[in-house]
Amino acid sequence: MNTKKTIEHIQKTAFDFFMNETNFNETETGFGMTLDHTEKKGVATIAAVGFTLSAYVVGDVYGYISKEEALDKVKKTLLTLRDHVSHYEGLFAHFIDFHTGKRLGHCEYSTIDTALALNGVITVDSYFNDDTIHALANDIIKRVNFDMLIHTHEGKKRLYMAYNPDKKGDYVTDKPGFIHHWGMFAEQLMMYVMIAGLKEDKNESKALYNGFDRIYKSYQKHHYIITPGNTLFVYQFPLAWLNLEDIEDADGINWFINAKKATYGHRAFCLRHQKTFKTFNHYSFGLTAGYTPTGYYVANALPNTLGKYYTNGTISPSAMVGSLPFAPEIVLPAIRKMVEDPKLWGKYGLVGAYNYENGTWISNRDYALDKGLELLMCNAYLSKDVMRAYMKHPIIQKGMEVLQWRKI
């Protein structure tokens, strides 16, 4: 199989995940909601819906689904988001009931998970150019009260990460209400563009974008702005929609190049530690969040603000596929190696994770966010259909202009 066909095959199998693990029961108010992962039926995550909506664009372009069916599913999903999914001032609950769309347990109303869902809303609004979709998307996007999240912290304009009204709710450590701050570079990057594209106060939008810390560190020869824990998905998620390959901000920062350096840094870390961890090598690298032999956790590579790494040697294929647009020269050989190994290929393409530290462990669990990242990054490599739609949306166009992001 040649390179293009291999990548398209991964794209198609990831697309299949969203068609098989999404609720298409028209008698339920959870229509369009997608499972968080395949081993916990009934639990959906709102972030996954952003990938599901984007998947319809890929499906239409590549003929995986008819335009009529895609339009129908998009409209009904947007109706669910507008009318049935639990939200607080437009912020969606992180985990929701697959069948009803209602908040599960005491989970938080999440800024980042809402933003990922909105990425999908923006994408279909731009791509399908349909009056009903425009109206629904406008209702969903304009409902989000971003102003309530903006506050001053450490002398800088910042966003709260989440809201939880429950005393014993997820992430609540002191009292219910707003939780933590986006005070660091992380996966929230696209939120600043959205806010700048929606708010009238341009100065506040700029202050927000300039309000998170840019921490430069080096690993071997790789020098880049790190996330505090330096886990790879954080660099990748925003750039699954934002096409910033030839875009820099007012300070000359190119987030695409930064993600490329982070990918090389992760590979360098894994190569340096391949005597410690049998799973690491030139074709098996990148520490990210995912399922492991000891449960789900977020792995950390060096350099980071903690000063120590955290991994049990597990590798997730999505860590590599997620960097395909940034570093194809090192990612493509890794993908070929994985695809050639029958152990690493499952129902939805590449398996969720693998670990060779104590024998062979292969995850049977497929996460929506992993499959979504693979889908969009394969599409970004092949034809940029999702990126093209997202980037031409008026909100994104205006946001980039306000933040003074410009072509290099």
Q: Quote the pTM value.
A: 0.97
Phi, psi of 11 (to 5 degrees): -60, -45
pLDDT tens track for 273-319: 999 999 999 999 999 999 999 999 999 999 999 999 999 999 999 99
pLDDT at 205: 98
Confidence of residue 385 (pLDDT cuts 50, 70, 90): very high
Is 407 in contact with 197 (CB distance < 8 Å)?
no
Inform me whether the pLDDT recorded for 376 exceeds 70. yes
- Tell which residue, 340, 391, 348, 353, has the closest CA to residue 371: 348
pLDDT tens track for 111-120: 999 999 999 9
- Residue percentage of the chain with pLDDT more than 70: 100
pLDDT at 89: 98
| Residue 156 CB neighbours (<10 A) | 15
Inform me whether the pLDDT recorded for 97 exceeds 90. yes
Q: What is the DSSP letter of 118?
A: H
pLDDT tens track for 331-351: 999 999 999 999 999 999 999
329: left (phi over 0), alpha (psi -120 to 50) or beta: alpha
Is 355 in contact with 314 (CB distance < 8 Å)?
yes
| pLDDT mean over 82-97 | 98
State the greatest distance between any 2 C-alpha atoms of the chain, in Å, as a whole number: 58
Inform me whether the pLDDT recorded for 366 exceeds 90. yes
What's the rounded Cα separation, in Å, for the pair 400 and 157? 18
Confidence of residue 1 (pLDDT cuts 50, 70, 90): low
Domains, the chain, with CATH or none: 1-144 (1.50.10.10), 145-213 (no CATH), 214-386 (1.50.10.140)
Inform me whether the pLDDT recorded for 402 exceeds 80. yes
- Tell which residue, 220, 298, 297, has the closest CA to residue 266: 220
pLDDT at 174: 86
pLDDT tens track for 159-184: 999 999 999 999 999 899 999 999 99
DSSP string computed for 150-217:
EEEETTEEEEEEEEE--TT-TT-SSSSEEEEE--BSSTTHHHHHHHHHH-S-HHHHHHHHTTSB-EEE
Inform me whether the pLDDT recorded for 45 exceeds 80. yes
Distances (CA, A) of 2 to 7, 335, 373, 380, 382: 9, 12, 22, 18, 13
DSSP3 helix / strand / coil % (the chain, rounded to 5): 45, 20, 40
Inform me whether the pLDDT recorded for 209 exceeds 90. yes
